[in-house]
Amino acid sequence: MKYNSILLKMVAAIIALILSGMASSTIAQDKVTLKVVKADSEETAGEDGKAANAVDGDPGTIWHTQWQDTNPEHPHEIIIELSQPCRISGFTYLPRQDDSDHGNIKDYEFYVSNDGDDFGKPVKKGTFENNNDKQTVTFDAKQCRFIKLKALSEVNDLAWASAAEIGIIETASAGDYIKVEIKGTLETGLMAIGGETTGTVIHVKNVTWELDLGGSKELQESATKLNKKTVLLTGTYQKIKGVEIRERHIIKVATLNPAGDN
Ligand SMILES: [Ca+2]
């Protein structure tokens, strides 16, 4: 009897390990997308130079400041919103890829912001190379929701600014996280949440959270030992894109301890 129960526990632990591997292999972080929220000027009559072209992923389309009826002077600026707050360590500027250099930015300032209003001082100032290669500018990582590229001058000292694509460089630890401390009932074993199978969950009142034990043997052992028990755990909350359901709410566990039975 005793031997059987030990064997069962070992099998359960192995299943939990396999499931945690399956769960982490089917998840993918939300990709950050960019949206232009403001540009001081855009040419939409003489050509399709709308600001949104700077983030449409197509090197063949450009943002270009007005040139048909009026030629507003520098500085020019474009403000871009990220689909989620992000840690970035730089940005990229792809000049227009046709045979013109009109609007190619020479001197620039780059800003970041959390609210889209207060951009403070530039995180970087510089001068782009005078060619149409993609230019990458890096700086110490900054958390932000908005970026602003300000053009101070043009390669031929003309009035315009243009861009084929503007992008961001996300740092490895991209995205926001929320630290959590949860007391609830742990459950390990094969179960389904909205069509997804998962290995370990915690029930708190009527809410069930998926747990990511990060492949830690120690945490797996604790989870097996604490099955159906009241536990206190700490970790970080993440929203992850699911395969069968749109969003999965997952707690990446840092510590897992018994909280006394009740
Ligand atoms: Ca484009």
* pLDDT at residue 16 tops 60: no
Cα 247 to averaged position of ligand 1 atoms, centre (Å)? 30
Q: How far is the CA of 87 from the centre of ligand 1 (A)?
A: 23
Question: From the CA of 58, how far away is ligand 1's center (Å)?
Answer: 4
- Centroid of ligand 1 to alpha carbon of 230 (angstroms): 54
Which residue stretches of 42-189 are H helix?
none
Place 25 in a pLDDT band, splitting at 50, 70 and 90: very low
**CA gap 81, 115 in Å, rounded:** 10
CA of 200 to the centre of ligand 1 (A): 44
Distance 103 CA to ligand 1 centre (A): 14
Please name the CATH architecture into which domain 2-29+177-258 falls: Beta Barrel (2.40)
Two tokens at 223?
A: 């989870």
Cβ(64)–Cβ(72) below 8 Å: no
Q: How remote is the CA of residue 51 from the centroid of ligand 1, in Å?
A: 9
Q: Where are the domains of the chain?
A: 2-29+177-258, 34-170
CA of 52 to the centre of ligand 1 (A): 8
Ligand 1 center to 92 CA (angstroms): 13
Percent of the chain having pLDDT more than 90? 55
Residue 14's alpha-carbon distances to 190, 192, 224, in angstroms, are: 12, 18, 10
Contacts of 121 (CB under 8 A, 6+ apart): 111
Please give the DSSP secondary-structure letter assigned to residue 72: P
DSSP 8-state secondary structure symbol assigned to residue 160 = -
Average confidence (pLDDT) over 27-45:
85
Distance 234 CA to ligand 1 centre (A): 43
Q: What is the Å distance from ligand 1's center to 165 Cα?
A: 5
Check for a shared fold between 2-29+177-258 and 34-170: no
What is 34-170's CATH number?
Answer: 2.60.120.260
pTM over 0.95: no
pLDDT tens-digit map of 243-258: 666 677 788 888 899 9
**Among 15-24, 75-84, 159-168, which is the least confidently predicted range?**
15-24
